[in-house]
Amino acid sequence: MTVKDILAAIQSDATSADFAAIPLPESYRAITVHKDETEMFAGLETRDKDPRKSTHLDEVPLPELGPGEALVAVMASSVNYNSVWTSIFEPLSTFGFLERYGRTNELAKRHDLPYHIIGSDLAGVVLRTGPGVNAWKPGDEVVAHCLSVEMESSDGHNDTMLDPEQRIWGFETNFGGLAEIALVKSNQLMPKPGHLSWEEAAAPGLVNSTAYRQLVSRNGAGMKQGDNVLIWGASGGLGSYATQFALAGGANPICVVSSDQKADICRSMGAEAIIDRNAEGYKFWKDERTQDPKEWKRFGKRIRELTGGEDIDIVFEHPGRETFGASVFVTRKGGTITTCASTSGYMHEYDNRYLWMSLKRIIGSHFANYREAWEANRLIAKGKIHPTLSKVYSLEDTGQAAYDVHRNLHQGKVGVLCLAPEEGLGVRDTELRAEHIDAINRFRNV
């Protein structure tokens, strides 16, 4: 039996019993990085490390299915920046995560392999569920969020992100979504939004959930109506969802982008206050070690021009070292800087006087708990928030897709077709789709 038979079942009217009866293949194709290549970029600058060289399309054996788990036929996935980090082996090789996980118990040993199947998003069809799974069955059309937790400690019982064994699936675990079949914990599964194609449904998951916790949830900034929200990379992966949340929640996004084209995308989402950081030439660092507070002030002045004199209630931070000093400075008294990443460097510097004297807060945020991921997916399913898929690649070309994201050549989200033979398949609710078709296509081919 091969994955072709699985695809044929998905494209027919197969029932749950039919799916359960399909014999599973012994192997499948997956995007991997290799443990014996983790030093391949030693000595190179970050920007010169090329994911096209380190990612491979390999035939890999099907992993054993454990209790509480599901095997999913992946129709489509998407590229996240964590796959860029994995493929350039920064800030560290992900094989360390797999080894550490492998040491925790007998079943987790499966993850500690000389190859890492990457990818933290998927849309597809459940093939098999393990013992103890009752909520999902073969044939269910699903998306998967990327929170993997064990839930054996009380630390995570209020907020699953606080579980001491919290991992990001496809980054800190093996058997990720950039593959024809993926292994997930069944609690990662959520219903696939019916009005979206496979590749559209696979695009929002990780970034949409992250932006939801970071900006909207009480665990993050708890955004409210009227807030001025400074959004870095407002047309990028995280930013394109943060911008939508700000607009849908009655806040006022101040969108930072780096080109006219990206400014136009933000405008078409409904944003009015837009700063082109490239055109306006902000240089927050005079040299590698010295920031330039005059540039923070010039940036703050521009924000005031756009807001009618108001400062920022919430900064949606992720560029990190390059922007963090400016972000802390432009936040209003009592305001919040919420950060989930450090793309340009994780050793941040800011002038702490502006933080404590003006009673500002920095909040660390990471992905989303089970409930937040579910709520974020619900907003997609209801057509309140839309995928920001720009371009779609074949599984073979995943390295190129990751290269584009690494070099900031993309818009919004980049999709990958895994088992889906072409784009546009998998739509079940044509009525809801028709209602939102312009928004769904907003980022396509720009």
Ligand X SMILES: C/C=C/C(=O)SCCNC(=O)CCNC(=O)[C@H](O)C(C)(C)COP(=O)(O)OP(=O)(O)OC[C@H]1O[C@@H](n2cnc3c(N)ncnc32)[C@H](O)[C@@H]1OP(=O)(O)O
Site for ligand NDP in 199-238 (CB under 6 A): 206-207, 210, 232-233, 235-238
Instruction: Tell me which stretch binds ligand NDP (CB under 6 A): 192-200, 251-259, 304-312, 438-446.
Output: 251-259
Beta bridge partners of 185: 69
Q: Which of 249, 244, 213 shows the shortest CA–CA distance to 231? A: 244
Residue 91 binds which of ligand X, ligand NDP, none (CB < 5-8 A, kind-dependent): ligand X
Q: How far is the CB of 290 from ligand X (least distance, A)?
A: 25
- Total of residues contacting ligand X (CB under 6 A): 11
Q: Which of 156, 68, 60, 152 shows the shortest CA–CA distance to 111? A: 60
Q: Which of 242, 240, 275 shows the shortest CA–CA distance to 256? A: 275
Instruction: Tell me which stretch binds ligand X (CB under 6 A): 81-89, 223-231, 321-329, 417-425.
Output: 81-89
Q: How far is the CB of 263 from ligand NDP (least distance, A)?
A: 9
Task: For residue 344, give Cα distances in angstroms to 317, 321, 367, 436.
Answer: 11, 6, 19, 35
**Residue closer to ligand NDP (CB basis): 121 or 141:** 121
Beta strands in 292-399 (DSSP E): 312-317, 331-339, 361-364, 389-394
Q: How far is the CB of 364 from ligand NDP (least distance, A)?
A: 9
CA 45 to centroid of chain Cα atoms: 24
Binding mask 335-354 for ligand X (x = CB under 6 A): ------x-------------
Residue 257 binds which of ligand X, ligand NDP, none (CB < 5-8 A, kind-dependent): ligand NDP
Q: Which of 262, 261, 217 shows the shortest CA–CA distance to 239? A: 262
> How many Cα atoms are found within 13 Å in the side-chain-facing hemisphere of 23?
5
Q: Would you report the helix, strand and coil content of the chain in percent, each value rounded to 5?
A: 35, 25, 40
- Which of 31, 126, 168, 238 forms a contact with ligand X (CB under 6 A)? 168
- Closest-CB residue for ligand X? 82
Helix (H, G, I), strand (E, B) or coil at 130: coil
Q: Binding to ligand X by residue 367, rule CB under 6 A?
A: yes
Residue 92 binds which of ligand NDP, ligand X, none (CB < 5-8 A, kind-dependent): ligand X
Q: How far is the CB of 18 from ligand NDP (least distance, A)?
A: 37
Q: Which of 63, 198, 73 shows the shortest CA–CA distance to 139? A: 73
Q: How far is the CB of 86 from ligand X (least distance, A)?
A: 9
Is residue 412 a contact partner of residue 236, using CB atoms and an 8 Å limit?
yes
What the block records as the tokens of 241 is 């969802």
Q: Binding to ligand X by residue 87, rule CB under 6 A?
A: no
* Other residues' Cβ atoms within 10 Å of the Cβ of residue 431: 8
Q: Binding to ligand X by residue 370, rule CB under 6 A?
A: no
* Other residues' Cβ atoms within 10 Å of the Cβ of residue 235: 30
**Residue closer to ligand NDP (CB basis): 181 or 256:** 256
Q: Which of 62, 56, 1, 3 shows the shortest CA–CA distance to 27? A: 62
Residue 118 binds which of ligand X, ligand NDP, none (CB < 5-8 A, kind-dependent): none
Beta bridge partners of 339: 317, 364
Binding mask 36-75 for ligand X (x = CB under 6 A): ----------------------------------------
- Which of 78, 82, 197, 390 forms a contact with ligand NDP (CB under 6 A)? 82
Is residue 140 a contact partner of residue 75, using CB atoms and an 8 Å limit?
no
Site for ligand X in 102-161 (CB under 6 A): 146
Residue 315 binds which of ligand NDP, ligand X, none (CB < 5-8 A, kind-dependent): none
The footprint of ligand NDP (CB under 6 A) covers 80-82, 85, 206-207, 210, 232-233, 235-239, 256-258, 262, 277, 318-319, 322-323, 340-341, 343-344, 366-367, 405, 408
Binding residues for ligand X, rule: CB under 6 A, are 81-82, 85, 91-92, 146, 168, 206, 210, 341, 367
